[in-house]
Amino acid sequence: MAPSACAACRSQRKKGSDECLLAPHFPSDDLQKFAIVQKVYGFSHIVKMLKDVKAEERADVVKSLVYEPTARVKDPVYGCTREIHQLQKRIADLESLLVYTQTELLDMRFDHEKLVYFPTICEEVDPMLSCDPLWELQI
Amino acid sequence: MAPSACAACRSQRKKGSDECLLAPHFPSDDLQKFAIVQKVYGFSHIVKMLKDVKAEERADVVKSLVYEPTARVKDPVYGCTREIHQLQKRIADLESLLVYTQTELLDMRFDHEKLVYFPTICEEVDPMLSCDPLWELQI
Question: What is the amino acid identity at position A38?
Answer: Q
What's the CA dihedral at A11, A15, A19, A22 to 10 degrees? 10
Interface test with A, best of B107, B116, B117, B126 (most A CBs within 10 A): B116
pTM: 0.74
Q: What is the mean pLDDT of chain A?
A: 84
Binned at pLDDT 50, 70 and 90, residue B81 comes out as very high
pLDDT at A87 (0 to 100): 97
pLDDT at B91 (0 to 100): 98
Task: Answer whether B130 sits within 8 Å of A133, measured CB to CB.
Answer: yes
**CA distances (Å), origin A89, targets A80, B57, B59, B62:** 14, 21, 21, 22
Binned at pLDDT 50, 70 and 90, residue B107 comes out as very high
pLDDT at A131 (0 to 100): 44
Q: Report how far Cα A68 is from the mean position of its chain's Cα atoms.
A: 14
Chain A positions touching B65 (Cβ under 8 A) are: 79
Q: What is the CA radius of gyration of chain A?
A: 32
Binned at pLDDT 50, 70 and 90, residue B14 comes out as confident
Q: What number of C-beta contacts closer than 8 Å exist between A and B? A: 148
Closest chain A residue by Cα to residue B121: A116
Binned at pLDDT 50, 70 and 90, residue A2 comes out as low
User: Region A82-99: what's the mean pLDDT?
Assistant: 97
Give the integer Cα–Cα distance in Å for A40 and B100: 44
Binned at pLDDT 50, 70 and 90, residue A1 comes out as low
Which secondary-structure segment (H or E) carries A37?
helix A31-41
Task: Answer whether B64 sits within 8 Å of A78, measured CB to CB.
Answer: yes
Give the integer Cα–Cα distance in Å for A83 and B88: 10
pLDDT at A94 (0 to 100): 98
pLDDT at B116 (0 to 100): 77
pLDDT(A139) > 90:
no
Q: Which residues contact B138 (CB under 8 A, 6 or more apart)?
A: none
Chain A positions touching B63 (Cβ under 8 A) are: 81
- Lowest mean pLDDT across A115-124, B9-18, B73-82, B85-94: A115-124
Q: Are B10 and B28 in contact (CB under 8 A)?
A: yes
Report which of residues A75 and B136 the model is more confident about: A75
pLDDT(B52) > 60:
yes
